[in-house]
Amino acid sequence: MQKLGLRIFANKMAIIGQDISQAKNFLKAGKLVAIPTETVYGLAGNALNTAAVASIFETKNRPSFDPLIIHTSSIERVDDFVGEFPEPLYKLAKKFWPGPLTLLLPRKSNVPDLVTSGLEKVAVRVPDHPLTNSLLEILDFPLAAPSANPFGYISPTTAKHVQDQLGEKIPYILDGGSCQVGLESTIVGMENDQLFIYRLGGLEVADIEKIVGLVQIKNHSSSNPQAPGLLESHYAPRKPFLLGNLDELVSNHLRGKKRFGVMSLSKTFKDVKVEYQKQLSPSGDLKEAAQNLFGFMRYLDEQNIEVILAEEMPVEGLGNAINDRLKRAAAEK
Q: Where are the domains of the chain?
A: 15-217, 241-330
Task: Report how far residue 261's alpha carbon sits from residue 241's, in angstroms, rounded to the nearest whole number.
Answer: 10
What per-residue confidence (pLDDT) applies to 28? Answer: 98
Query: Is the confidence at residue 307, as pLDDT, over 50?
Result: yes
Over residues 244-260, the mean pLDDT reads 95
Reported as a single tens digit per residue, the pLDDT across 143-195 is 999 999 998 899 999 999 999 999 999 999 999 999 999 999 999 999 999 99
Task: Report how far residue 167's alpha carbon sits from residue 148's, in angstroms, rounded to the nearest whole number.
Answer: 10
Task: Report how far residue 284's alpha carbon sits from residue 302's, in angstroms, rounded to the nearest whole number.
Answer: 25
Query: Is the confidence at residue 233, as pLDDT, over 70?
Result: no
What per-residue confidence (pLDDT) applies to 236? Answer: 84
Fold of 241-330: Rossmann fold (3.40.50)
Task: Report how far residue 113's alpha carbon sits from residue 50's, in angstroms, rounded to the nearest whole number.
Answer: 9
Task: Report how far residue 9's alpha carbon sits from residue 167's, in angstroms, rounded to the nearest whole number.
Answer: 10
Q: Which amino acid is at 317?
A: G
The 3-state secondary structure of 34-69 reads: EECCCCCCEEEEECCCHHHHHHHHHHHCCCCCCCCE
Q: What are phi and psi of 120, to 5 degrees?
A: -85, -5
Q: Name the burial class of residue 218, with classes exposed (0-12), middle (13-18) and buried (19+) by CB atoms within 10 angstroms of its CB.
A: middle
For residue 222, what pLDDT band results from cuts at 50, 70 and 90?
very low
Reported as a single tens digit per residue, the pLDDT across 32-42 is 999 999 999 99
What per-residue confidence (pLDDT) applies to 292? Answer: 96
What per-residue confidence (pLDDT) applies to 227? Answer: 65
Query: Is the confidence at residue 302, as pLDDT, over 80?
Result: yes
CATH for 15-217 (3.90.870.10, 3.40.190.10, 3.40.50.2300, 3.30.420.40) = 3.90.870.10
For residue 11, what pLDDT band results from cuts at 50, 70 and 90?
low
